[in-house]
Amino acid sequence: MSEERKAVRYREPSEAGKVIIPSVITILYGLISFYLILPALNIYNSGFWGWLLSICGVFIASAVVATAKGNTIDTKNAGKLVKYPFYLLLVIVAVLVIGGISSAKIFNARRFAGLIDVQTASFKEDMPETTNVNNIALMDTASASIIGNRTLGSLSEVVSQYVISNSYSQINYRNTPKKVANLEYADFFKWFQNRSEGVPGIVMVDPLNNTAEYIKLAKPMKYVESAYFGKDLKRALRFTYPTKIFHNYYFEIDDEGNPYYIVSCKTPHAGLFGAMDVNEVIIFNPCDGSSKLYALKDVPSWVDIVFDGDLASEKYNWYGTLSGGFWNSVIGNKNCKRATSDYGYIVLDDDVWYFTGVTSVNEDESNIGFILTNARTGEYKFYPVIGAEEYSAMHAAEGEVQEKGYQASFPSLINVGGQATYIMVLKDSGGLVKLYALVNVEKYSMVATGATQQEAMSAYRKLLERDGITAVATDNLQSVTVEVTDVRMINVGELPTVYVTGSDGRVYKGYLNQDESLVLIRVGDWIHVYCEETQTPNIFTIRSWTGKNKE
Per-residue pLDDT for 52 more than 60? yes
Q: What is the DSSP letter of 273?
A: T
Task: Give residue 102's pLDDT.
Answer: 94
Q: What is the DSSP letter of 134?
A: -
- N-terminal to C-terminal alpha carbon distance within the chain: 120
Q: Is 141 exposed, middle or buried (0-12, 13-18, 19+ CB in 10 A)?
A: middle
- What span, in angstroms and rounded, lies between the C-alpha atoms of 356 and 154? 37
pTM (whole model) above 0.75: yes
Q: How many beta carbons lie within 10 A of that of residue 428, not counting itself?
A: 13
Strands 277-284 and 259-267: antiparallel
**Is 306:296 a contact under the CB 8 Å cutoff?**
yes
Task: Tell me which of 513 and 282 has the higher pLDDT.
Answer: 282
Task: Give residue 315's pLDDT.
Answer: 97
User: In 375-494, at which residue ranges do the beta strands (DSSP E only) sit?
Assistant: 380-383, 387-388, 407-408, 412-416, 419-427, 433-440, 447-450, 478-492
User: In 187-303, at which residue ranges do the beta strands (DSSP E only) sit?
Assistant: 199-206, 211-221, 246-253, 259-267, 277-284, 291-295
pLDDT in tens, 58-114: 999 888 887 766 566 666 666 778 888 899 999 999 999 999 999 999 999 999 999
Burial 472-510 (b: 16+ CB within 10 A, else e): eeeeebeebebebeebeeeeeeebbbbbbbbeeebbbbb
Percent of the chain at pLDDT > 70 equals 90
- What span, in angstroms and rounded, lies between the C-alpha atoms of 477 and 132? 11
- What span, in angstroms and rounded, lies between the C-alpha atoms of 107 and 371? 27
Task: Give residue 111's pLDDT.
Answer: 96
- What span, in angstroms and rounded, lies between the C-alpha atoms of 317 and 286? 35
Per-residue pLDDT for 455 more than 90? no
Length of the chain: 551
pLDDT in tens, 215-269: 999 999 999 999 999 999 999 999 999 999 999 999 999 999 999 999 999 999 9
pLDDT in tens, 397-450: 999 888 888 999 888 888 888 889 999 989 888 777 888 899 999 888 899 998
* Helix ranges, 180-308 (H): 188-194, 233-240
